[in-house]
Amino acid sequence: MKVKAPNGETLDLMTLNLGPSHPATHGTLRLFTAIDGENVVGAVCEMGFLHRGFEKMVEQGTYSQVLPYTDRLNYCSAMINNIAFCKAVEKMFRIEVPERCIVLRVVLMELSRIIDHMVCVCTNLVDLGALTNFWYFFNVREQVYKIWEKLCGARLTNTVTRIGGMYRDTYPGFEQDVTDVLKNIEKAIGEVRGLIEHNKIFIQRTKDICAVSADDAISWGWTGPCLRASGVDRDIRKDEPYYGYENYQFDTVIGTTGDTFDRIMVRIFEMIESISITRQALAKLKPGPVNTADARLSLPPRNQVYHDMEALINSFKLVYDGVRPPAGECYDYVEAANGELGFLITSDGGTNPYRIKVRPPCLTQWAAFGPMLEGHMVADLASALGSINILAGELDR
Amino acid sequence: MIAQIERPALQPGLPAAELEKLLVERFTLVRDPRDQWDLTLIAPSHRIAEIAAFLRDDPRLRFDMLLDISGVDYLSYPNHRGARLAVVYNFKSTVLRHRVRLKIEVEEDALEVPTVSALFRIANWQERETFDQYGIIFVGHPNLKRLLNHHEFVGHPLRKDYPCQKRQKLSVNDPLIDQLEARLTAKGYQVLDRGQENKAAPIAFGVSPAGTSASQGAGGTVTTIDRPYAGSPAAQAQAQTPSAGNEGKQA
């Protein structure tokens, strides 16, 4: 396409389409760019290729039936989605889950955050040609999936929580497994840091690439690691603590310039903080019930169901109708691996959710991607795209 | 380089009661009785841009982040009185520790709502999504195109009267060239020739006034998308006053 540049020069731009199926997009995303030689002059993004109508589907079933769908939002850290959704419904009931459940959820969330950041960082590095890091991280990620498998039978899409508690308590030896895997994670992070931190090629490929200023990031609605990479010190775990995060010792990791380097490094150092939180949480994990005793949410014990009429009815109603949150509209959020994951639930007092709106953290990053890319080179496209960690499952819902 | 810095203390925000008092006095808003957990205020829809600007800029509030815009359809909500549709704006501050949600009610036969895309960059896409799912028309939006659904899709799927099993045949990809050209123009480039590979006729994106199936072709109300639905009073009002928000401001 022929254009006249602002400086009066006539340019012959090439239009280049990337995606929706392209290895560098790690999903189904489409980008349409106008390039001048190697430089991106204009870029626009399209989404919706993985749109499956999550918000319409969830209106058809009960609250418990929403849970497996939430797994498919951010499938790299499915447990955080499960927990976020259950936490939102529990907020509607105004109940607190038991202490053991809270601590267990913290352990699962932090481990999920670690493996989510791992996928983001190492696939990002693969896009830059650094394949070795991929094996280091996927090796330990596999060990975490082994724990998930032992915990609930599923690896990727866990559905590990229930509204009012957990699917079940941990297996014997869970603490030991997590302790062991944390050591391996620490080692893997050390190895990856050794490979990239002072690596000239890595630094040249990522430093000052696609930098986003703090003001821009806020106006784009960024949350999570990408916002912190731009130097904004916001973390829901610190600012509006839930699940006792105020009792854990950890630092918020922030970047300075908000370039690709910062976004990768913030994730790496956040993993280290998450390891520390997981260790502290494991030390707090005391025996006890994992499900709330509230009869509106939890199934009664089996022996009661067989001998007690009320318990039998309760069990029936919970299995067939599920939970019935009070009518109203409630928003609840957690700090997911990618940023603020929120659920705005509208309930009409019935068994099915009237409306659930997901606030997907990566939509804001994908919306900003086109403008962010302009002025940089085509080769930076892949590394910048990896660093904002777009997950099509969550983006398109 | 890693450095440990002292975290500047996050300012406590206004308590919900004070926040409510301030906004209710300033804009005569009403607290939404449906939200028993946090603070949601019902705002008059024509003042939403003004209220959003106040929320963002007032030093006591500083709601500088628009987390989400979401629609709700109350068609089958039990004992619901009032407008059929609503739009919820979810605000958060990155300076002060407080949050608020604004809700505007939208009647089915008056779907026009002023855009806030000139105030928050992300609103551009969030409004596109709300338009896509509920057919709410954001007046002054620079590019009110569908976001999640295919551009040939007819209807607004999250409305309660859209059948969940309905299927539609969608064929042609969105060429995106119109968006790219708008983007280049906003950056000061002048497009002289679209080029051989982009010669295909641009797709005219239709906005249906009431979200009925008459999206494209039928009724002759297809307009290009930079303008709101041509027949609406809001569009005529807007034709007199040029819109404030466009993507050029964001470059």
| B155/B250 same-domain check | yes
The pLDDT value recorded for residue A6 is 82
* Residue A6 in contact with partner chain B when CB distance is under 8 A: yes
State the smallest CA–CA distance between residue A355 and chain B in angstroms. 7
Beta strands B190-193 and B30-31: pairing type?
unpaired
Q: What is the mean pLDDT of residues A179-187?
A: 93
pLDDT band at A113 (very low <50, low <70, confident <90, very high): very high
Beta strands A161-162 and A39-46: pairing type?
unpaired
| B88/B186 same-domain check | no
Residue B241 counted as domain residue: yes
The pLDDT value recorded for residue A274 is 93
- Nearest Cβ partner for A3 among B7, B68, B190: B190
| Type and span of the H or E element at A211 | none
Q: Which residues of A touch B122 (CB under 8 A)?
A: 219-221, 364, 367-368
What's the maximum distance between 2 C-alpha atoms anywhere in chain A?
87
Q: Which of A68, A63, A91, A96 is nearest to A290 (CA)?
A: A96
Beta-carbon separation of B195 and A1 below 8 A: yes
Beta-carbon separation of A221 and B122 below 8 A: yes
Q: What is the mean pLDDT of residues A361-379?
A: 89
| B213/B160 same-domain check | yes
State the smallest CA–CA distance between residue B233 and chain A in angstroms. 30
Helix (H, G, I), strand (E, B) or coil at A85: helix
Beta-carbon separation of B183 and A269 below 8 A: no
Residues 6+ apart with CB under 8 A from A367: A45, A220, A221, B121, B122, B124, B125
Q: To the nearest whole percent, how much of chain A has pLDDT over 70?
A: 100
* Assigned token pair, B143: 């590019």
Q: What is the mean pLDDT of residues A299-325?
A: 87
Q: What is the pLDDT of residues A114-169, one digit of tens each?
A: 999 999 998 888 888 888 888 899 999 999 999 999 998 888 888 889 888 888 88
Number of domains in chain B: 2
Q: What is the pLDDT of residues B100-123, one digit of tens each?
A: 999 999 988 888 899 998 889 899
Residue B93 counted as domain residue: yes
pLDDT band at B225 (very low <50, low <70, confident <90, very high): very low
Beta-carbon separation of A48 and B149 below 8 A: yes
| B84/B180 same-domain check | no
Is residue A313 pLDDT above 80, yes or no? Answer: yes
Give the residue carrying structure tokens 């804001």: A364
Is residue B219 pLDDT above 80, yes or no? Answer: no
* Residue B50 in contact with partner chain A when CB distance is under 8 A: no
Distance CA B46, CA B147 (A): 24
Q: Which of B155, B205, B176 is nearest to A47 (CA)?
A: B176
Residue B67 counted as domain residue: yes
Q: Which of A149, A170, A384, A387 is nearest to A281 (CA)?
A: A170
Mean pLDDT of chain A, nearest integer = 89
Q: What is the mean pLDDT of residues B187-195?
A: 79
Count CB pairs under 8 A between chains A and B.
Answer: 168
| CATH number for position B16 | 3.30.460.80
State the smallest CA–CA distance between residue B153 and chain A in angstroms. 12
Beta-carbon separation of B125 and A363 below 8 A: yes
Which residues are bridge partners to A189 per DSSP?
Answer: none
Mean pLDDT of chain B, nearest integer = 76
- Nearest Cβ partner for A371 among B162, B195, B250: B250
**Residue to substitute from A13, A220, A250, A329, interface B, most B β-carbons within 10 A:** A329
| B23/B91 same-domain check | yes
The pLDDT value recorded for residue B211 is 38
Q: Which residues of B touch A233 (CB under 8 A)?
A: 7-8, 10
Residues 6+ apart with CB under 8 A from A339: A222, A223, A224, A225, A226, A227, A361, A362, A364, A365
- Nearest Cβ partner for B193 among A2, A234, A359: A2
pLDDT band at B6 (very low <50, low <70, confident <90, very high): low
State the smallest CA–CA distance between residue B135 and chain A in angstroms. 15
Q: Distances from the Cα of A19 to the Cαs of A25, A28, A34, in angstroms?
A: 7, 7, 14
Q: Which residues of A touch B10 (CB under 8 A)?
A: 233, 238-239
Beta-carbon separation of B148 and A46 below 8 A: no
Residue B96 dihedral angles phi and psi, to the nearest 5°: -115, 150
Is residue B213 pLDDT above 50, yes or no? Answer: no
| B171/B101 same-domain check | no
The pLDDT value recorded for residue A117 is 93
Q: Is there a contact between A65 and A322 (Cβ–Cβ < 8 Å)?
A: yes
Q: What is the mean pLDDT of residues B134-141?
A: 89
pTM of the model: 0.85
- Nearest Cβ partner for B121 among A44, A219, A326: A219
Q: To the nearest whole percent, how much of chain A has pLDDT over 90?
A: 32
Beta-carbon separation of B187 and A92 below 8 A: no
The pLDDT value recorded for residue A104 is 92
* Residue A180 in contact with partner chain B when CB distance is under 8 A: no
Q: Which of B89, B108, B127 is the last residue of a domain?
A: B108
The pLDDT value recorded for residue B7 is 61
pLDDT band at B8 (very low <50, low <70, confident <90, very high): low
Q: What is the pLDDT of residues B156-180, one digit of tens each?
A: 999 988 888 888 888 877 778 888 8
Q: Which residues of A touch B195 (CB under 8 A)?
A: 1-2, 13, 15
pLDDT band at B131 (very low <50, low <70, confident <90, very high): very high
Distance CA A215, CA A243 (A): 30
- Nearest Cβ partner for B180 among A42, A344, A368: A42
Q: What is the mean pLDDT of residues A84-112?
A: 92
State the smallest CA–CA distance between residue B189 and chain A in angstroms. 5
Q: Is there a contact between A213 and A230 (Cβ–Cβ < 8 Å)?
A: yes
Ranges assigned E (strand) in chain A: 2-4, 10-12, 14-18, 21-22, 27-28, 30-36, 39-46, 161-162, 165-166, 328-336, 339-347, 355-359
Is residue A260 pLDDT above 80, yes or no? Answer: yes
* Residue of chain A nearest B189, judged by CA positions: A5
For the stretch A84-100, what's the b/e string if a residue is b when 16 or more beta carbons lie within 10 angstroms of its beta carbon? bbbbbbbbbbebebbeb
DSSP string, chain B: -----PPPPPEE---HHHHHHHHHHHH--EE-TT-SSS-EEEE-GGGHHHHHHHHHH-TTT---EEEEEEEEE-TT-TT--S-SEEEEEEEE-SSEE-EEEEEEEE-TT--EEE--TTT-TTHHHHHHHHHHHH--EEET-TT---SSS-TT--S-TTSTTS-TT------PPP--HHHHHHHHHHTT-EEEE--GGG-SPPPPPP--SSSSS--SSGGG----TTS--TTSHHHHHHHHS--S--GGGG-
pLDDT band at A176 (very low <50, low <70, confident <90, very high): very high
Q: Which of A363, A331, A388 is nearest to B148 (CA)?
A: A363
Q: What is the mean pLDDT of residues B124-130?
A: 91
Q: Which of B84, B108, B132 is the last residue of a domain?
A: B108
The interface predicted TM-score (ipTM) is 0.87
| B89/B159 same-domain check | no
Beta-carbon separation of B7 and A355 below 8 A: no
Domain with B20 in it: 12-108
Q: Chain A neighbours among B 1-30 (CB < 8 Å)? A: 2, 4, 7-8, 10
Q: Kindly report the CA angle at A95 between A89 and A96, in degrees rounded to 5?
A: 105
Q: Which of B51, B86, B108 is the last residue of a domain?
A: B108
The pLDDT value recorded for residue B243 is 43
Distance CA A79, CA A360 (A): 15
For residue A129, with 0-12 CB atoms within 10 Å meaning exposed, 13-18 middle and 19 or more buried, which class applies? Answer: exposed
Q: Which residues of B touch A331 (CB under 8 A)?
A: 37-38, 90, 101
* Residue of chain B nearest A356, judged by CA positions: B72
Other Cβ atoms less than 10 A from the Cβ of A310: the count is 11
**Which domains does chain A show, CATH number per domain?**
54-396 (1.10.645.10)
pLDDT band at A269 (very low <50, low <70, confident <90, very high): very high
State the smallest CA–CA distance between residue B236 and chain A in angstroms. 30
Residue B153 counted as domain residue: yes
Q: Is there a contact between B84 and B110 (Cβ–Cβ < 8 Å)?
A: no
Q: A5-10: which pairs have CB atoms within 8 A and are 24 or more residues apart?
A: A5/B188, A5/B189, A6/B187, A6/B188, A6/B189, A10/B192
Residue B244 counted as domain residue: yes
* Residue A217 in contact with partner chain B when CB distance is under 8 A: no
Distance CA A342, CA A333 (A): 4
Residue B5 counted as domain residue: no
Helix (H, G, I), strand (E, B) or coil at A3: strand
Q: Is there a contact between A348 and A86 (Cβ–Cβ < 8 Å)?
A: no
Q: Chain B neighbours among A 259-318 (CB < 8 Å)? A: 269
| B99/B151 same-domain check | no
The pLDDT value recorded for residue B230 is 42
Q: Identity (one letter) of the amino acid at B89?
A: Y
| B157/B102 same-domain check | no
Residue B4 counted as domain residue: no
Residue B63 counted as domain residue: yes
Q: At what angle do helices A361-373 and A378-387 cross, to 10 degrees?
A: 160
Is residue B231 pLDDT above 70, yes or no? Answer: no
Q: Chain A neighbours among B 155-214 (CB < 8 Å)? A: 157-158, 162, 164, 174, 176-177, 179-180, 183-184, 187-195, 197-198
pLDDT band at B9 (very low <50, low <70, confident <90, very high): low
| B146/B75 same-domain check | no
* Assigned token pair, A163: 């509204």
The pLDDT value recorded for residue B224 is 38
Q: Distances from the Cα of A236 to the Cαs of A95, A98, A364, B12, B35, in angstroms?
A: 20, 22, 17, 14, 21
Peptide bond into A98 cis (omega under 30): no
